[in-house]
Amino acid sequence: MLTAADDTVDRVVGLESGADDYVTKPFEPRELLARIKALLRRSAGAAEPPQLLTEHRVGTALLNLERRVLVLADGTEEKLAASEFDLLALLVRHPNRPLTRDWLLEQAAHREAEAFDRAIDNRIMRLRRKVEVDPSKPQAIRSVRGVGYMFTPATD
């Protein structure tokens, strides 16, 4: 971080916000260059970030995040509505973690929930019909009472 703010509080906030270093103005260009080179040396040995999976098993189906399709158990491809895909992608990216209805709506539909908004519940119901063996007893997309929903990956 290169800034004119040189107070101790500003430095702490900058570093806590994710800056790798904090340089204040005025600065010596040679020092800045030396700091950049040191950072590059430290990060050169860093491991590659893990590759994200592009396919996830969801109940009886397979969600392909790259192609934005759901491959059903019989091998047919089900094109999902954008809102269904976004919701299912959110769920599979946060496995075994209860996600609130409001957060899901905010992230998947990019809007805030209104009182008694059931949009997420309706999308979950449609998704369950497509991926669950028995939608009335869901195993992949579970309800978490008082919270929202949770994706539970298959353990096979």
Enumerate the β-bridge partners of residue 82. Answer: none
Nearest to 63 by CA among 122, 130, 149, 136: 130
DSSP-derived letter for residue 38 is H
- Return all residues near 15 (Cβ < 8 A) that are at least 6 apart: 1, 22
Segments of the chain assigned to CATH 1.10.10.10: 55-151
> Considering the entire predicted model, what is its pTM?
0.62
CATH 1.10.10.10 fits 55-151, yes or no: yes
Q: What is the DSSP string of 64-107?
A: ETTTTEEE-TTS-EEEPPHHHHHHHHHHHHSTT--EEHHHHHHH
In the chain, what percentage of residues exceed pLDDT 90?
Answer: 41
Q: Is the pLDDT of residue 31 over 80?
A: yes
Are the C-beta atoms of 105 and 113 separated by less than 8 Å? yes
**Average pLDDT taken over every residue of the chain:** 85
Task: Give the 3-state secondary structure of residue 29.
Answer: helix
pLDDT tens-digit profile of 112-137?
A: 656 556 788 999 999 999 999 999 99
pLDDT tens-digit profile of 134-145?
A: 999 999 999 999
Nearest to 55 by CA among 39, 66, 45: 66
